[in-house]
Chain A
Amino acid sequence: MAKHETPLLDELEKGPWPSFVTDIKRQAEKNPDCWDILGQVELSYKERITHWKHGGIVGVFGYGGGIVGRYSDMPKRFPGVEHFHTVRLAQPASKYYSTKHLRDICDLWEKYGSGMTNMHGSTGDIIMLGCRTEALEPFFYDLTHNLQQDLGGSGSNLRTPANCLGQSRCEWACYDTEEACHHLTMHYQDEIHRPAFPYKFKFKFSGCPNDCVAAIARSDVAVIGTWRDNIRIDQAAVKEYIAGNIPGNGGAHAGRDWGKFDIKKEVIDLCPTECMWMEGGELKIDDSECTRCMHCLNVMPRALRPGADQGATICCGAKAPILDGAQFATLIVPFMKVSADNEFEELIEFIEKIWDWWMEVGKNRERVGETMQRIGLPTFIKVMDLEPIPQHVKEPRSNPYVFWQEEEVEGGFSRDVDEFRARHAA
């Protein structure tokens, strides 16, 4: 029996799509506190103002992240959501978990929390919605002791690292994303569980330029698999695609008749750098012009494979805030070997150089991409001990001035002005 009238929310159940309103109503049959979520949200829709407050000192002992305090500003009217804290659980690498484990997590949340979940948050965490303060510690104890699962990151912490399926399932993965993600997660436990920075910091690991975890759009350090030799071509398989004996796109989009496969129309003409052509019945690629868009590999996976000299491109400074100012990451290192053999030493050194600089010069609540933008890419490249390369240039220079560093000028900046003026009158 509904506790509150919800005419506005009920409208959201009438469309063709799954509705969170229906989900909450179903959960409210088990946990009556959930009626107060609906009541409070209905009031917010009516008054066009939120009645949630968030933030506070809530957390579990020893941790400085993973819990986000949430409260109702109308606790007397909606007592079921007086405390409604969010708990973030670190997702397993590639989000592999058994249904049993998932059920165990859900059972635990029904015992200690509202039973409402959000699979998955934008950082990848498993999000548990709605818990009272006094239930946090017992929930955390059971989670870590019985389910061997940890909290994720929140606040000014390193957020839970995320990765694609990588070499566990995908032939395009150019490095072991799961190993990299796991290794760095273990290496940076302190940074994940306790605040360390001016603001949040994220890494994400994609095995190839398809970038299935959207690292280039959402992470401060995006590690995206690539290769630096040539795309491997199986010319016999190319002919099979042309003959229509192998379906394009690995058989995807097969629910409709798209006609005979046309390599010119579907692959060559769609290459963004126009670096492909047919010659003597063979597919040719000018690999020096390839921008790793992955389109040709996606369409003809049995004919084209990433090159054999594999590693990752490192891009920095993406952010995807909801309200404004989303920006893509900037390419910093075109190719880096990413390997467990040296415990990801080169990547770790790169990350810590960024942190040392950003912790020093970053403003409060400023993502590293914003710091890079404010201070400038040339300074960032210098701080990272890198040489500028053509790939760092976004567009032709529009500023006519050349700014020299003191060490680049003969005599430095302390030349005798009087002596100079004796020869060159002002």
Chain B
Amino acid sequence: MALSIEELKAAILKKAQTAPKPQLYIKDFYACDPDSKPRVVKNAANDLVKEGKMMFWSSGSTTMYAMKDRIKDEEGAGGVN
């Protein structure tokens, strides 16, 4: 059975805090609840950004998610966008 939205958000935050890499793709969060549809996971992750608990990190071509205290600003990724 799929997690509730609040449970899913908690699982996403835990993953964002503990993953070895500070920036994660949306697909990295799918494993937080294999029973939730990708679109539900995406909406939960975007809600966490709206709530100020996570941030988007964008290279221009791809967007990743990160905890604010785990990344530094003013970084470039390289590549096309």
Contact = CB atoms under 8 A, between A and B. Distances in A.
Nearest to A66: B58
B50 A155 contact: no
Contact of A56 (B39, B46, B61, B76): B76
B56 A155 contact: yes
Contacts of A65: 58, 63
Interface in A18-74: 52-59, 62, 64-65, 67-71, 73
Given A55-B75, A59-B58, A64-B56, A155 B26 contact: no
A155 B76 contact: no
Contact of A54 (B49, B55, B60): B60
Given A64-B63, A68-B81, A195-B26, A73 B58 contact: no
B63 A155 contact: yes
Given A65-B63, A198-B26, A54 B77 contact: yes
Contacts of B25: 198, 364
Nearest to A322: B80
Contact of A71 (B27, B46, B74): B74
B57 to A, nearest CB: 5
Chain B interface size, under 10 / 10 to 19 / 20 to 34 / 35 or more: 20 to 34
Interface in A70-113: 70-71, 73, 86
A155 B62 contact: yes
Contacts of B46: 64, 194-195
B25 to A, nearest CB: 4
Interface string B29-71: 0000000011100100010011000011111111100101001
A196 interface: yes
Interface in A372-405: none
A70 B77 CA distance: 10
Contacts of A197: 26
A56 B26 contact: no
B50 A73 contact: no
B78 interface: yes
Contact of A155 (B27, B61, B71): B61
Nearest to B46: A194
Contacts of A69: 58, 60, 74, 76
Nearest to A121: B81
A359 B39 CA distance: 8
A57 B71 contact: yes
B49 A64 contact: yes
A119 interface: no
A155 B49 CA distance: 15
A323 interface: yes
Contacts of B68: 57
Interface string B1-35: 00000000000000000000000011100000000
A53 B56 CA distance: 17
A55 B57 contact: yes
Contacts of B57: 55-57
Residue of A71, A73, A359 most packed against chain B (CB within 10 A): A359
A56 B58 contact: yes
A64 B39 CA distance: 16
Contact of A199 (B56, B62, B74, B75): B62
Contacts of A360: 38
B49 A55 contact: no
B76 A71 contact: yes
Contact of A64 (B38, B58, B60, B77): B58
Nearest to B25: A364
A108 B26 CA distance: 35
A396 B59 CA distance: 41
A200 interface: yes
B60 A155 contact: yes
A89 to B, nearest CB: 15
A356 interface: yes
Contacts of B37: 356
A156 interface: yes
Given A54-B77, A57-B57, A194-B46, 8 more contacts: A53-B75, A54-B78, A57-B68, A64-B49, A198-B25, A356-B39, A363-B27, A364-B25
Interface of B: 25-27, 37-39, 42, 46, 49-50, 55-63, 66, 68, 71, 73-78, 80-81
17 contacts: A53-B76, A54-B59, A55-B75, A56-B58, A56-B74, A57-B58, A58-B73, A59-B58, A64-B58, A69-B58, A154-B81, A156-B62, A194-B49, A198-B27, A199-B61, A363-B27, A364-B62
